[in-house]
Amino acid sequence: MPHPSADDRPLSAAGVLWLNAAIGIGHFLVLFNTGAYLPMIPRVAGSLGVDPAFIDWTQSNFFLAMALAFVTASLWAARLGETQSLLCAFALFALAALICTATHDYDVFLAARMLQGYAGGLTIPLSLTLILRHYTPNRRHIGLTLWGVAAITPFTLGPALGGWITDNLGWRALFWLDIPVALLVTLWLYALAPPARTQRPQDPVDWLGLAALVTALLSLQSALNVSEVTDWLRTPRVVHLLALAAVAAILFSVRSQQVRHPVVDVDLLKRRNFAVGGAVLFLTAFWFQGLLALYVVQFQLLFGYSAWRAGLLLLPMAFFSKITSVLTHRILHRADPRFLATTALLGFAATSLWVSSYDRTASFTALLWPQAVTGVFLGLLFPPFAAIALSGLQGTRELRGAAFLNLLRAGGQALGIPAITVLWLRRRALHLHFLGEGDVFTAIARHRAARTLAAHGLTPARARAELAASVAHHAGMLAFNEVFYIGGLAFALLAFLPIFACHTVFAEPDLRVDLAIVELVEP
């Protein structure tokens, strides 16, 4: 844990509360943007004049940039100081939001979203470090408690509020809101915790390893993104990107074993608990974020929901996840995290299978219940994984472990969005083939065409067009259900992995610090 220097004197009681308020608002803003943008994707696509698949990239690359920020935050902190780095991060977040509000060019918008994701990712570990550095141990619980409140609220509230903003104010209003809030937090933090004047020791940066890591992640992410608009592995560009990702990943792995201060502490993977916890965290984030993005976007594009109503479907999840999250953190050091993790994954499996039974006749109220149950297990989901992975670690190595876990978690979220979308697209194409070429189409055609012609007096050509649209809609719905069914099976299989972990040990002497670092790994 960091220790206060002469320039990092503990704040007064009032300063503690004001600093927590500033950090809490900034933390809320960053995490709110991760969820609020989801229901905006169809509107952003229409506004920028591109296919919705391309707008998916602005969300997946946002998470990828955030993942890279977690492992490079310590590099900036060592060179600029924690406070200076945090101030710059919030200022960059505001700048990126300003670009998003002004541009009508897709490429510029994508770059701005990535800058916003990177800046937002930097603020999360730097904020926690600032809390731990500035507070005396007897006041630290105040900061960590308020940090936890800010950490567990905005992500799940985001889709509902983002949908309301989209329908009532327009999608750019989200970024207009970001600008003054981010600037206010920047000035607020500068006034409360001015930049330190002392120089801190700097470890040498493994620039080659960092370049290899960035190349591997960007290449893999780009391959999955491109697959949304091409024919997957039949496209040479996708194959070349995957090959580049594999070569860069091998180089990064070799390089990390050769240097004394690697970008990511890959030696942590030699610990059984970290390997199990990290793997399950990555795969869970992969499936959860991919299914969530598919749910919010396709309920608008496929089922005709407004952004507000699509976001409202997730509101029960936001409410119930807060209750179980608070309870989980209270019992985490007393209960077996392996049991909690398995219970959460089995719950996710059940709710995913429940969603896979969707039918066009299902009422809006009926669709709320699966999300309410999902919320119960969402609050139980991430803390056990972090506790398992960080078992036995303390001090700076626990923080490095948290950074690695955040890379895995945010990387899983980034890769899951295009990967699950590609799975849905390929299943829809398969269903379109069988519905369009088989006897089912012929039977539907006779029935629908006769009814349409009789009721509306349409020409045969128009009737066939209406029929084709209906079949495409039905194929999309079948693929939607099928993807959630596969997701349910994936969660069920993941539920068995925590049993391979050893007993969890909370090694950090200050339990509150342990729990705060666990919260650092939550979305």
CB 317, CB 374: distance < 8 Å: yes
pLDDT of residue 229 exceeding 90? no
Taking the C-alpha atoms of residue 39 and residue 296, their distance in angstroms, rounded to an integer, is: 6
Q: Which residues contact 126 (CB under 8 A, 6 or more apart)?
A: 73, 76, 77, 82, 85, 86, 89
CB 502, CB 134: distance < 8 Å: no
Q: What is the mean pLDDT of residues 174-193?
A: 90
pLDDT of residue 179 exceeding 90? yes
Question: HEC profile for 90-144?
Answer: HHHHHHHHHHHHHCCCHHHHHHHHHHHHHHHHHHHHHHHHHHHHHCCHHHHHHHH
Q: How far apart are the first and last CA of the chain?
A: 23
Taking the C-alpha atoms of residue 43 and residue 494, their distance in angstroms, rounded to an integer, is: 35
Q: What is the pLDDT of residue 397?
A: 78
Q: What is the pLDDT of residue 437?
A: 65
Instruction: Using alpha carbons, select from 332, 312, 336 the residue that is nearest to residue 379.
Output: 332
pLDDT tens-digit map of 248-291: 999 999 998 888 888 888 888 889 999 999 999 999 999 999 99
pLDDT of residue 111 exceeding 90? yes
Q: Which residues contact 219 (CB under 8 A, 6 or more apart)?
A: 241, 242, 244, 245, 248
Query: Which of 61-70, 223-232, 235-244 shows the lowest per-residue confidence on average (mean pLDDT)?
Result: 223-232
Q: What is the pLDDT of residue 438?
A: 55
**3-state SS class at 384:** helix
Of 205 and 142, the one with more pLDDT: 205
Q: Which residues contact 137 (CB under 8 A, 6 or more apart)?
A: 510
- Rounded to two decimals, what is the model's pTM? 0.87
Q: What is the pLDDT of residue 507?
A: 57
Query: Which of 157-161, 173-177, 300-304, 467-471 shows the lowest per-residue confidence on average (mean pLDDT)?
Result: 467-471
Query: What's the token pair of residue 232?
Result: 């997957």
Q: What is the pLDDT of residue 6?
A: 36
Q: What is the mean pLDDT of residues 81-98?
A: 92
Cα separation values, 368 from 153, 312, 345, 504, Å: 19, 8, 20, 35
Most trustworthy range by pLDDT among 200-214, 370-384, 413-427, 459-473 = 413-427
pLDDT of residue 509 exceeding 80? no
pLDDT tens-digit map of 369-427: 888 898 889 888 888 888 888 888 777 777 788 888 888 989 999 999 999 999 999 99
Q: What is the pLDDT of residue 483?
A: 95
Confidence of residue 7 (pLDDT cuts 50, 70, 90): very low
For residue 228, the number of C-alpha atoms closer than 13 Å in the C-beta half-sphere is: 20
